[in-house]
Chains A and B, each alone.
Chain A
Amino acid sequence: MSILVNKDTRLLVQGITGNEGLFHTTQMVAYGTNVVAGVTPGKGGEWVLEGKVPVFDSVKIAVDATEANAAVIFVPARFAPDAMFEAADAGIPLIVCITEGIPVQDMMRVRNYLDQKKVRLVGPNCPGLLTPGEAKVGIIPGNIAIPGNVGVVSRSGTLTYEVLYAMKNVGMGASTCVGIGGDPVNGTNFIDVLQMFEHDPQTEKVVMIGEIGGTDEEKAAEFIANKMTKPVVSFIAGQTAPPGKRMGHAGAIIEGGAGTASDKIAALTAAGVRVAKHPEEIPSLLK
């Protein structure tokens, strides 16, 4: 078992003929992910990856033809909201949006619309999902993680890679790694994923990687204290970040005194979570 993606995932790639879309589709297929279709409006009828993956003009047409049950989005920020609406309207239950830089007002409209449809959105501005040995949906390098029993959830990309890699170096594997993304308004939050890990029989322990901005880590701490039986280890990035400055991610900003790393660490510690001083310390806290 694992969460969200596995061997039964039938993946559709939106923006498959673009530079990034094509590169990462190649990587996902090489990893063993079942990529059943691509969508690029105007390029329906073409094939990519030496005739392995058919391209369709719309998500609806692609779903009708291939029964895709998950979509990953690689289209540029100005078109990504439309891509998310389109995937939701075509009835795809899991949408993973990798795209970075989507305006927050667009994301509020997307999120409020998708909530009416009971669609799970992961991201945007995220590295996607990886169930080691089964499927990779997004851009997490496949070779930095091995299968195992640790669930990983994170707001960051390369920082997550550090943690997976440090775990692999001591022979520790992951059940599923979920990158929820660094934007202030996204589809899936820590609590959603913690709940899934709590119910997943393969997952025995959880790593939660947070950062400054917002209050999702504090809410997650409350959930962990009240609802979780599995041990959780954490790391919070941005302890030295100055207030009022957006630290790369649109969501990583200390505003009006809220969202500091020290508040988050205090909340997590109080909930019984062991918080690492730096990411490479995580494997030893998991032992």
Chain B
Amino acid sequence: MKLHEYQSKQLFSKYGVPIPKGRVAATASEAKQIAEELGGRVVIKSQVLVGGRGKAGGIKVAKDPNEAETLATHILAMTIKGLPVRKVLVDEAADIAQEIYLGITNDRAAKKPIIMASAAGGVDIEEVAATTPEKIVKIHVDPLLGLRDYQARDIAAFIDLPRDYWRDFGRIANGLWQAYLANDATLAEINPLVITRDKRLVALDGKMLIDDNALFRHSDLAEMRDLDEEAPAETEARKYGLSFIKLDGNIGCMVNGAGLAMTSMDILKLFGGEPANFLDIGGGAGAEKVAAAMRIILSDPNVKAVLYNIFGGITRCDEVARGILAAMEEVKPKVPMVVRLVGTNAEEGRQLLADANMITAETLADAAQKAVAAAQAA
């Protein structure tokens, strides 16, 4: 789950990372009011969950409250990479002397957290990593020990941070580590961390990604999820514990197991079709979950055919068949459906669907070809 900049910075601030004064606004008049409270120059920053906001014109500096209102009006009307801007963050503007990058993420290959820093901050760090990797320092953190003070000093020395700032930098690095740890982040990033002309370190921008698997112990974070920023079908799917991702094709897919769901998409493409979604109903899905999955698939007007590929293990094919029948009763689908049931209780499942007017298939390849043909004929 992605957090907005303003949410990430508020979390960082809780762990002692200095952030600029500012608040989030949903209207231009609110933005003006915040600018009046802050006094002086302010930055108006669009809050959308994509990178490259600055390049897209979604971040502007205003010299006074009136300009803040004008710029906020403009930014709140923008759409950045397909996402409409619904909120802006109004922050006091900083006089920047230097920009630093500081981030913590998981290194899956090393099975350890990794803290990274660079004196070349403020730009896309992946670009720095690709073009001038020698400008980035990376240090693994032992997950059983946590970030040690000496590691923060090693980083400060590598990025040539003047010694006057080391103590504050150590506090910030430790604060970022605590924010990462306490919130089960998979990424906690400050870019840029700036040195101001009046010699302070401030986190001007913040980004956090939260491990979806850990949300069970972070109800406060789960509530921060911005439902405006995702497809409504994905929100609905999450309610039922379904793993769903909308795609651009016209063949709906319902599969048990993530690997098999990806494979079903791939094989449709191999035979000339285009999947409309990724959908994993998970292990042991009952009839109710299957019915919900079917409603979600059919709510996409692009869908011209549906492929059901179920390999019963923990999942029982007869349960899935009952779910399909229940959902058909309710949704009354008009598109052709191809069903393949293999494994646990497959025979019972097939018998239940015998009168349901569905196209049946034996193998995965057969099922995919039939689904592609059905979608093309529609």
Contact = CB atoms under 8 A, between A and B. Distances in A.
A144 B343 contact: yes
Interface string A154-182: 11111111100100000000000000001
A163 to B, nearest CB: 10
B249 to A, nearest CB: 9
Contact of B364 (A154, A157, A280): A280
Interface in A97-117: 100-109, 111-113
A238 interface: yes
Contacts of B143: 105, 108-109, 112
Contact of A162 (B186, B262, B364): B364
A127 B275 CA distance: 26
Of B112, B214, B342, most A-chain CB atoms within 10 Å: B214
B216 A162 contact: no
Nearest to A159: B259
Chain A interface, DSSP helix/strand/loop, else mixed: loop
Contacts of B278: 241, 245, 247-248
B247 interface: yes
Q: Which of A219, A239, A278 has the most CB of B within 10 A?
A: A278
B113 interface: yes
Interface in B341-360: 342-344
A279 B270 CA distance: 12
Nearest to A165: B342
B159 to A, nearest CB: 21
A49 to B, nearest CB: 18
Interface centre among A211, A239, A261 (most CB of B within 10 A): A239
B60 to A, nearest CB: 27
B269 A104 contact: no
A256 interface: yes
Given A102-B213, A159-B257, A159-B263, A279 B364 contact: yes
Interface residues of B, number: 53
Contacts, number: 168
B166 interface: no
B311 interface: yes
B37 interface: no
Contacts of B217: 78, 103
Given A139-B314, A278-B267, A248 B108 contact: no
Given A108-B106, A111-B111, A250-B212, A240 B275 contact: yes
A240 B269 contact: yes
Contact of B243 (A113, A156, A248, A278): A248
Contacts of A195: none
A147 interface: no
A185 B108 contact: yes
A103 B269 contact: no
Interface string B255-288: 1111111110111111000010010100110000
Interface in A208-227: 209, 211-212, 214-216, 219
Given A105-B184, A242-B247, A215 B109 contact: yes
A249 B259 contact: yes
A164 to B, nearest CB: 10
Contact of A252 (B111, B262, B314, B343): B262
A77 B313 contact: no
A140 interface: yes
Given A237-B266, A240-B275, A156 B260 contact: yes
B111 A78 contact: no
A95 to B, nearest CB: 16
A230 interface: no
B227 interface: no
A185 B245 contact: no
Contacts of A113: 144
B142 interface: yes
B126 interface: yes
Contacts of B112: 108, 112
A141 B364 CA distance: 18
A212 B262 contact: yes
A162 B108 contact: no
Given A104-B186, A214-B109, A246-B212, A162 B263 contact: yes
Contacts of A102: 213
Contacts of A185: 106, 108, 111
B154 interface: no
Given A141-B343, A165-B342, A278 B111 contact: no
Contacts of B364: 162, 278-280
A113 B113 CA distance: 14
B142 A158 contact: no
A277 interface: yes
Contacts of B344: 141
Contact of A184 (B106, B243, B283, B314): B106
A133 interface: no
A38 interface: no
A204 to B, nearest CB: 25
B111 A103 contact: no
Nearest to A248: B258
Nearest to B268: A240
A251 interface: yes
Given A158-B256, A158-B259, A103 B245 contact: no
Contact of B283 (A108, A109, A112, A157): A157
Contacts of B261: 247-248
A37 B317 CA distance: 31
For A20, A105, A239, the residue with the greatest tally of chain B CB atoms inside 10 Å of its CB is A105
5 contacts: A23-B314, A113-B144, A156-B258, A240-B266, A251-B108
Given A216-B109, A237-B263, 15 more contacts: A105-B113, A108-B111, A111-B111, A112-B142, A112-B144, A139-B313, A141-B343, A185-B108, A214-B108, A237-B260, A237-B266, A240-B262, A240-B275, A241-B265, A248-B280
